[in-house]
Amino acid sequence: MMHNQRQKYSFTMQRKTQLLIISIFAGSMIGSFIATVSFITNDYSTYLHSSFDNSLQLEDCNDNDNFQENKPLLSHLSLNEEHLKEQYSQSIVIEQEALELQQQEEEVVKDLIPQQLLSEEKEEERIYPESHACSIFKQGTGHEGREIPSAIQIWKQYLSKVVNATRHEKDNIKEFLWHDFTVELLNVMNSQRLQQSVKTLPIHYWDRVGDILDLVHQRWIWLDKNKDSSKTEANSKSEPRKVNILILGGSVTLGVQCHENPVMKALRFGRKPCSWTSRLQQFIKAMTNQRDLVNFNQITLGGTNTASATTFWNYSLFPNDVPYPDIIINSFSTNDVHVQSIAEAKESNVTLEEYIFDMNEEFVRSVLSNNPPPPFTVENNNGIKERCEGKVPLLLYYDDYLGNEQREIRQTLSFNRAINTLSVYYGFGFISYADAVRDLVYAKTSEGWFSPHGWPDRQIHPGMGMHITSAWVFAFNFLNLATTYCDAMSRKNSDILTLLRDKTKRVQNGPLEHRPLALPPKLDQNLTLDNISKLWQNAAESDEVSKKVENRLLPQCDTITNKSLPMTNKCFFSWIGDMIDKKKIEEFKEEMDPFLWKKEEDNDDDFNWEFSHDNGKTGYIATKTNAKFTLRFTDIHHTVSTLNFMVMTSYGSKWEGSMVHIDALVMTNSTDLNSILSKNSMEIVGYHDKETSESVIHKLVLDKKAEFGNTLVIDVQLKGGSAFKMTGMAFC
């Protein structure tokens, strides 16, 4: 038996050696031939490119691959140039001749390989069964079933569908007014450019990519099985949930100035519906034949930056209907280099890049440190409450900043450099629209498709072209994540160690077999090659990490419930103006009124603060000099250690000199001033000399926490100017 196995193994090795030698020999001949043909065709395509430039001024047609990719797009345009058709026909003839020669050479190689060796090669089974999420990429068996196509290959196959799926739902299908603009954009944004937007893959979080693919796959199958079924209770319980994506950003992500485009004013859309976030949602549905697979939650507040996002995330300051996310997208790149960041960097005596780095590292660590997050209590599919373990969100960063807040090119790259370093160090995903189009903008800074209009005047909000392109950039990156994951999982080298000659002894002084469970140490000036290993390993052995490991004994939430997980607000009292529907302002005022307190010595005329939704920003506004208000919370039932005030900082004569003074008193459950346990104060300025409005979070940390049963009193008075606007509060 052993003798027969050895004979079989020996024959197999001889056969593979023969194939290898013949392939190398034949391959060298083919390689020389292909190199010659490539030179000829590339030479011709250079001539073809100049003809295109003179007649159509289309970009990226400088090689046959690009021309083949863009050929379906050109069919969308009305082109009547006969000489162009003739040149294209000639190029097809040359390409066909080259292909025939290549096929002849391949036949020569086949003749060199003994047919019995070829016939003895058994067709391998497909690597993924049909029940697996990755099976969607290939339905064949053998070699075809084992190869996962690249994102570029797939994208090229569906260019016509991409054009049609890009049509906005408010752009009538019979008109499709922005059709040719879409085609022109896609002609420039070919697959090579889209590939350039892929900066860093989430290499330490591939398991989350797999989880998300499973969610999509399960829901896809369920939707197809139940598309003709009536909605029943049993149906609803078995319905797999959507993938939840949380997008955090500022006014660019919100869609400010999205209506700007070279075709016509696009006022029909409105800001948010015109934005890339809305377009991406529509695009995904159109590309999947209207399957509802993804739930987008867009929290975009003008004038906020990543520092605000950290506060929102740490305290879960989101509307009640926003579920715990599977994916978080940080889209604050433009706001992170905004005037407020510049001023705070200067005040802190650091460079803008250092400020951006530190601010974003805090956010990254805040999101990724909860791995896994604290246990959730949910109602399982049988209606019974149960504790379960959630999973850390897949973190993706998006860079859409091309400049104009700064004029120096190296300064405009500060965000890009900082996030690139952080993404490599922490292993999250980084996507850059800016890098995909940067050369186009630098070559002609007055262009209006990809960069903010009105250059060189200060303008940071790009128009419709950027939002359409950003939807493609994200769709391509999602596709690239899926194909890369599926390809990587199909090529695991877990069996490579079977090739060891001596399996009893391993080569010494290698790396750790597994990364430490904790996040790597904070990447500050004190981290060195001398201490990083010890700090990281010590962190992995800490009690905090041990508790997280214990949580992993709990069932996975997605295995016991089909529902999305809740985001629990961690604050005693909170509101964010731009998250309140303007139609519900009156309802919120009723919720806040019980906490507004008037002292005996106060006059009615002093209380001149009111809720307002002016200039698209909801807030609590001082309308008179010396205006004041007092909030009193008795019988505290939730520990409060930090008071967060979100303030709109603005410009102009109305806001000049604007400043409030705040006193926070922690007391026993009494109004007696002698019962004060601690008093903390701060002043906040609401004016700056930059012609823009920003929302900044100011924190007042209490010396003594307000504990269960205490009273918390907060006095706010306008001490300078005649106007001030608070756009949010969170007492946590």
Does 505 score more than 50 pLDDT?
yes
Nearest to 311 by CA among 720, 666, 730: 730
pLDDT of residue 691: 75
pLDDT-derived band of residue 493, with 50, 70 and 90 as boundaries? low
Close Cβ partners of 403 (under 8 Å, ≥ 6 residues apart): 409, 412, 441, 451
User: d(Cα 712, Cα 631) in Å, to the nearest integer?
Assistant: 8
- Residue 531 CA, chain-centre distance (Å), reads 32
Does 84 score more than 80 pLDDT?
no
Mean pLDDT of the chain: 80
List the single range of 40-54, 129-143, 169-183, 237-251 with lowest mean pLDDT. Answer: 40-54
Mean pLDDT of the region 505-531: 91
Beta bridge pairs of residue 726: 620, 647
Nearest to 428 by CA among 369, 512, 358, 353: 369
pLDDT of residue 324: 94
More confident site: 18 or 39: 18
Mean pLDDT of the region 621-633: 90
Residue 455 dihedral angles phi and psi, to the nearest 5°: -60, 145
pLDDT of residue 70: 63
User: d(Cα 405, Cα 355) in Å, to the nearest integer?
Assistant: 16
Q: In terms of C-beta density within 10 A (0-12 exposed, 13-18 middle, 19 or more buried), how is residue 210 classed? A: middle
Residue 333 dihedral angles phi and psi, to the nearest 5°: -55, -45
pLDDT-derived band of residue 492, with 50, 70 and 90 as boundaries? low
Task: Give the H/E segment covering residue 240.
Answer: none
List the single range of 101-110, 236-245, 429-438, 439-448 with lowest mean pLDDT. Answer: 101-110
Close Cβ partners of 294 (under 8 Å, ≥ 6 residues apart): 216, 242, 243, 245, 281, 284
pLDDT of residue 58: 37
Does 125 score more than 70 pLDDT?
no
Close Cβ partners of 711 (under 8 Å, ≥ 6 residues apart): 632, 633, 634, 635, 636, 666, 667, 668, 669, 670, 671
- For residue 395, give the DSSP letter: E
pTM of the predicted protein model: 0.80
Query: Of 71-85, 208-222, 602-616, which one has max mean pLDDT?
Result: 208-222
Mean pLDDT of the region 488-501: 76
User: Which domains occur in the chain, in start order?
Assistant: 2-122 (no CATH), 176-228+241-491+532-560 (3.40.50.1110), 573-731 (2.60.120)
How do 243-249 and 327-331 pair as beta strands? Answer: parallel
Q: How many percent of the chain have pLDDT more than 90?
A: 45
**DSSP-assigned states of every residue in 563-619:** SPPP-----SEEEEGGGS-GGGHHHHHHHHGGGB---TT--GGG--EEEEEETTEEE
How do 711-720 and 628-633 pair as beta strands? Answer: antiparallel
pLDDT-derived band of residue 27, with 50, 70 and 90 as boundaries? very low
User: d(Cα 584, Cα 329) in Å, to the nearest integer?
Assistant: 28
- Structural contact between residues 722 and 625, judged by C-beta atoms closer than 8 angstroms: yes
Mean pLDDT of the region 720-729: 91
List the single range of 189-203, 472-486, 547-561 with lowest mean pLDDT. Answer: 547-561
Mean pLDDT of the region 726-732: 92
